[in-house]
Amino acid sequence: MNYYNSKIIKGKDFSVVRTEVEAALKEEGFGILTEIDFQATMKKKLDKDYLPHVILGACNPTYADKVVSIEPHISTLLPCNVTIREMESGDIEVSAMDPAAAMKVVENDEIVQHAEEVNEMLKNVLKAI
């Protein structure tokens, strides 16, 4: 099983793709809880150069509430990460974790069912951009 889904975007600027990703996430009921500028962090901490690359911690509050109500420690696996990174070719790759793959370690079918629903929503985000 793959642990993520992704899409390659050609011919668009990184900032345009990011705006589209954020709008598509909002449309699916997600908010952005965290943001990591991977490029800036690696430059600052390791003096290593990367192309633009951000990690967005996306959360759908309804589903977060459902799974935390079932298993409080599940919050260690939240939020859902969505990455946007520029590739050497100039194309932009948008990837979203597969929450169903991550939640299988909990061994609770009810949680996995919710995670599969969230995975479909994240796939919808990729389709929308």
Domains (ranges, CATH) in the chain? 4-128 (3.30.310.70)
pLDDT of residue 1: 59
pLDDT of residue 49: 98
Q: What is the mean pLDDT of each run of 10 residues along the chain (129 residues)?
A: 93 98 98 97 98 98 96 94 98 97 92 96 98
Task: For residue 78, give the DSSP letter.
Answer: -
Instruction: Note the pTM of the prediction, 2 decimals.
Output: 0.94
Those residues with Cβ within 8 angstroms of residue 67's Cβ, 6 or more apart along the chain or in another chain:
74, 78, 103, 111, 114, 115
pLDDT of residue 44: 98
- Over its C-alpha atoms, the chain yields an Rg (Å, rounded) of 15
Strands 4-9, 53-59: pairing kind = unpaired
CA angle 61–38–2, rounded 5-degree value: 60
Tell me how far apart the alpha carbons of residues 25 and 22 are, in angstroms, rounded to a whole number: 5
pLDDT of residue 77: 93
